[in-house]
Amino acid sequence: MDWSKKVVLVTGGTGSFGKKLVRILLDEYNPAKIIVFSRDELKQHEMRVAGYNAPNLRYFIGDVRDLDRLRRAFEGVNIVIHAAALKQVPACEYNPMEAIKTNILGSSNVIDAALDTGVERVVALSTDKAVNPVNLYGATKLAAEKLFVQSNAYAGGRTTRFACVRYGNVVGSRGSVVPVFLRQRESGTVTVTDERMSRFWISLEQGVRFVIRCAEQMHGGEVFVPKIPSMTILDLAKTIAPEASVNVIGIRPGEKLHEVLISEDEARTTVELEDMFVVQPAEALWFGRDWENQGKLIEGDFRYASNTNTEWLDVNQIQEIITPIEAAYKQGKL
């Protein structure tokens, strides 16, 4: 794909992912235009001041809950990366309707606006919490995934295609546990909910580059899952604060002991490639089912879970990941 001829819009463009995506696109791909779509004028101003101010960069104030505003923003857009979401688990539990309005109805609006304005490709960001969800955030992201996958059936003769990218925790992103442990380290005690807890981890840059790659390769209807390592929360805490004591406070409501990126039921239509899995649409009504020609179909009982993962981060690898985040924390950027 020739990105220099494409107009790219990022919903939630002032968030951690959006900013990193904009930086990489500006530095390496030079699209014809990049549009940052978000609802917070202060964050847009802070992005400009921080150096996000290229001639081909535009800022568009709007909310994904507003379909008319999305239609206006999507005019002339080729590629939409949908990153806008309410993602804090406790906040979603306490404000359930707000989570539904943004994560589900907002996703529906993105789909309608893309179909109405002829956007070519839409990639929606999802999460491991959408697999067998136990909290409202995960449930809303599961519903959003279903919307994006099934909406390919509405494309008809249009060129619009929808796909999802699903991955685990982003190290150092807004809401990450890493800054929490860095703050707690100063008190001499860090808190973990359960010593056995494991999570999938991916860096912000890895996540952004994977989304760019999927936008280039998608056919429509897929859920792309990168092969990423696991680590235990206890190893993370001990790496960040080796001298601190660990206080186990018990697992919280809506929290899993381990996360799953591909369930046993999804595995039946999943293709394994060298560095990722592609969950093909369950119904072969339209497109997105030819990935098996590029990889191998999963056979037998398969479940891609953080506790049974074959790739784990050791303490040295965790430290490499933590070092730049710690530097940003000391500079007051987290």
User: Which CATH architecture best describes the domain 3-167+201-227+261-304?
Assistant: 3-Layer(aba) Sandwich (3.40)
Tokens read off for 125: 């960001």
Please tell me the distance from the alpha carbon of residue 226 to that of residue 317, in angstroms, as a whole number: 18
What pLDDT, on a 0 to 100 scale, did the predictor assign at position 285? 61
Give pLDDT, residue 175.
65
SS (H, E, C) the chain: CCHHHCEEEEECCCCHHHHHHHHHHHHHHCCCEEEEEECCHHHHHHHHHCCCCCCCEEEEECCCCCHHHHHHHHCCCCEEEECCCCCCHHHHHHCHHHHHHHHHHHHHHHHHHHHHHCCCEEEEEEEHHHCCCCCHHHHHHHHHHHHHHHHHHHCCCCCCEEEEEEECEEECCCCCHHHHHHHHHCCCEEEECCCCCEEEEEEHHHHHHHHHHHHHHCCCCCEEEECCCEEEHHHHHHHHCCCCEEEECCCCCCCCCCCEEECCCHHHHEEECCCEEEECCCCCCCCCCCHHHCCEECCCCCCEECCCCCCECCHHHHHHHHHHHHHHHHCCCC
- pLDDT at residue 330 above 80? no
Q: How high does pLDDT run on average in the chain?
A: 92
Residue 155 — left, alpha, or beta (φ > 0 → left; ψ -120 to 50 → alpha)? alpha
pTM summary value: 0.94
Give me the residue spans of the domains in the chain. 3-167+201-227+261-304
Q: Please, are residues 81 and 9 in contact by the beta-carbon 8 Å criterion? A: yes
d(C-alpha 114, C-alpha 54), whole Å: 25
Residue 253: the pLDDT is: 81
Q: What pLDDT, on the 0 to 100 scale, is given for residue 288?
A: 60
Left (φ > 0), alpha (ψ -120 to 50) or beta: where does 38 sit? beta
Cβ–Cβ < 8 Å for 232, 257:
no
Dmax over Cα atoms in the chain, in whole Å? 62
Q: Which residues contact 130 (CB under 8 A, 6 or more apart)?
A: 138, 141, 142, 144, 145, 166
Residue 326 in this model has a pLDDT that exceeds 70? yes
pLDDT in tens, 140-167: 999 999 999 999 988 777 889 999 999 9
Tell me if 128 sits within 8 A of 263, measured CB to CB.
no
- Contact call for residues 108 and 146 (beta carbons, < 8 A): no
User: Which pLDDT band, with edges at 50, 70 and 90, does 287 fall under?
Assistant: low
* Residue 109 near residue 64 (C-beta atoms within 8 A): yes
pLDDT tens string 181-232: 888 888 889 999 899 999 999 989 999 999 999 999 999 999 999 999 999 9
Which listed residue (20, 129, 238, 256) is catalytic? 129
Look at residue 121 and tell me whether its pLDDT is greater than 80: yes
Mean pLDDT of 79-103: 95
**20 included as an active-site residue:** no
* Per-residue model confidence (pLDDT) at position 114: 97
8 Å CB contact between 86 and 102: yes
Return d(Cα 131, Cα 260) in angstroms, integer.
6
Model confidence at 286, pLDDT cuts 50, 70, 90, reads low
